[in-house]
Amino acid sequence: MICPVLKLAQQLIQQPSVSPDDNGCQTILINRLKKLGFSIEVMPFDDTTNLWAYHGEQGETLAFAGHTDVVPPGATDNWRYPPFTPTLNNGLLYGRGAADMKGSLAAMVIAAERFISDFPNHSGRLAFLITSDEEAKATNGTVKVVDELMIRNERIDYCIVGEPSSQLKIGDIIKNGRRGSLTAKLTIEGTQGHIAYPHLANNPIHSSLAFLHELVNKKWDAGNTYFPSTSMQISNIHAGTGSNNIIPGQLVIQFNFRFSNELTEQQIRHQVEAILEKYQLDYKIEWSLSGYPFLTEKGKLINIVSQVIEQYCGYQPQLSTDGGTSDGRFIAKMGAQIVELGPLNATIHKVDECVSVADLQKLSLVYQEIMQKILL
């Protein structure tokens, strides 16, 4: 018998949906959800295709969130199998998006089919929020769908995000929050000049060294029970013309904060700017916030997800808030309890991305049991 989770995952992987191009993936999902009686709304914003679908009318809403877009495969010659030709070998399904996150989408939809077949008159609402803009800019996807839903006074009470959260075995780690992400582009002005006449110039690299030393060595906070301490990393530094005899007139530095809920965006900005003022630097700084920290503390959703993972996998999951950002940061604005639960993340964004078919089958059963425990 052909596994329905595997078959659907293969159909999705076949679509070369490099972000933000959905390339027909959501149409495949819509055709299946329509047969179940879901109310379907396609919500396009600019270059992004989004899907909001729900089944049921009254009570609490359990939403499954995910994305159909994938990162570029890079040089396809480096792949063991063509990245958009789903290939099964030794129990592993290969293809771009197999783990991140077309496998999860397949597991979710098949779980919904089984659940609604068994319980067509369930209480509450079972919903799907799917975007094609998660891997790139994330500006026309979930964030705009959430804004539109909030205008309508829609609610999401519980949300499972299908991001690949597992590390060594399925369900060993679930994400109950993520750190915020704040990036700075700092320009330090100096005076260009001949390198043999430093008294006639002002080297912005030299004048910035004390600032950079303090920035790198500053302890921003101590973290807390759920979050590690805030981290700062310099990602890019540029100065000079390429010549070895010119003092640069400008230094450009980019750095990023992954911050816990012990700090606010404003506090970070004020502290950085205070250090700049301390060293009397001539500067311009541009800030870009891509996400606030969010956290789901232990409660109904985490308890249910933990119980179901123990039931199907035989162990309790570990809670974690590390890693990058996810679309959960947008859904959190709706006041939802959020957990990220998906396949192993060992091969995501890599050549020869793959996922265990057995893991996808188990994940689908886990998703189905979560539906039953929340909506029955």
Query: What are the residue numbers of the active site?
Result: 69, 134
Residues 6+ apart with CB under 8 A from 209: none
37: region left, alpha or beta (phi > 0 left; psi from -120 to 50 alpha): left
Q: Distance between CA 139 and CA 46 in Å, rounded?
A: 10
Q: How far apart are the first and last CA of the chain?
A: 30
Q: How far is CA 371 from CA 115, 128, 247, 368, in A?
A: 7, 12, 64, 5
Nearest-10 Cα torsion for 16, 18, 24, 27: 130
Within 10 A of 119 (CB to CB), how many other CB atoms are there?
Answer: 15
Q: Distance between CA 346 and CA 353 in Å, rounded?
A: 8
Q: Tokens for 217?
A: 């060595």
Q: How far is CA 155 from CA 148, 198, 234, 307, 308, in A?
A: 11, 63, 39, 25, 24
